[in-house]
A = this chain, B = another copy of it.
Amino acid sequence: MGERNKIWTAALVVIGDEILSGRTHDKNIAQVASWLQVQGIRLAEVRVVPDDQTAIVEAVNALRRRNDYLFTTGGIGPTHDDITVDAVAAAMGVDVIVHPEARALLEAYYDTRGGLNDARMRMARTPEGAHLIPNRYSGAPGIRIGNVFLMAGVPNITAGMLDALTGTLEGGDPVLSETVGCWIAESEVAELLREVEQAHEGVQIGSYPFFREGRSGANFVIRSTDADQLASCVHTLCEGLGEMGREFTPDPPRGAPSFRP
């Protein structure tokens, strides 16, 4: 499985005026990020750009070259503002073609849904040399060309495409994480965090404060690809918090009311 200890990275370009206007709250950053962690791939950077070819080309070219993988979400539908395929083809210097397999998929899908009109045919267009990513929810497939993956903007369609890609991309060891929640102002514990992190090689501790019911608290997220280092770090941190006389909850479940803002 490739070089040992190589860190595999990906970037994400979120495409859409609706995100930049604030109308739509993006859900793809979080779901792509979580999915990549399980694949052993680190999400290194995200850019959100408008439905504008120049902006898309710039982001795609900057990020595809310095990451192992580049994902895009949005702009692969049938309407005039869906220009991702054209922009990615331009970025990569290839033509746009009608992909025979995509066309066949769309013909089958729209056979009982009013037929394949001009707008729907747009979704059969891909950069030349592309492969398709299955879409289990609707007709139009995702697209892979080289190390670039074009996915839908609608989050549950994207989720299906990610699922179809699960296990197919080379990555490193998955990043493991544990969370320790504590009713403490993070400013009281900053020194402890720094010391504990320094004592555990390859472990990162993030500190995420919240305010709730008039009290200050923080979740400390400990991350490592090494399960033993992770466990040792959590143990040392909890010991330190205990010595400060604080209640803490190792690994509080998501949504646990006491330790989530």
B-binding residues in A (CB < 8 A): 14, 16-27, 29-37, 42-51, 55, 77-81, 113-114, 117-120, 122-123, 137-138, 154, 156, 175, 177, 185-191, 193-194, 197, 204-211, 221, 223, 261
A207 to B: closest C-beta gap in Å: 4
A135 to B: closest C-beta gap in Å: 12
What is the predominant secondary structure among interface residues of chain A facing chain B? Answer: mixed
Task: Give the CA-CA distance A255 to B257 in the complex, in Å.
Answer: 25
Q: Give 5 A-B contacts (CB < 8 Å), ordered by A residue.
A: A21-B43, A44-B55, A45-B55, A51-B206, A154-B261
Would you call A188 and B19 a contact (CB within 8 A)?
A: no
Would you call A188 and B77 a contact (CB within 8 A)?
A: no
Would you call A208 and B24 a contact (CB within 8 A)?
A: yes
Q: Among B186, B208, B211, point to the contact of A78 (Cβ < 8 A).
A: B186
State the oligomeric state as a number of copies.
2
Would you call A20 and B48 a contact (CB within 8 A)?
A: no
Task: Give the CA-CA distance A101 to B16 in the complex, in Å.
Answer: 41
Would you call B37 and A187 a contact (CB within 8 A)?
A: no
Known A48-B46, A55-B45, A223-B21: A207·B33 in contact at CB below 8 Å: no
Q: Among B50, B81, B177, B209, point to the contact of A154 (Cβ < 8 A).
A: B209
Would you call A190 and B25 a contact (CB within 8 A)?
A: no
Closest to A207 in B: B79
Q: A20-B44, A119-B189 are in contact. List 8 more A-B contacts (CB 8 A).
A: A17-B204, A18-B221, A21-B177, A79-B194, A117-B188, A123-B187, A154-B211, A156-B211
Q: Which residues of B contact A193 (CB under 8 A)?
A: 79-80
Task: Give the CA-CA distance A210 to B43 in the complex, in Å.
Answer: 27
Q: Which residues of B contact A175 (CB under 8 A)?
A: 21
A153 to B: closest C-beta gap in Å: 8
Would you call B44 and A29 a contact (CB within 8 A)?
A: no
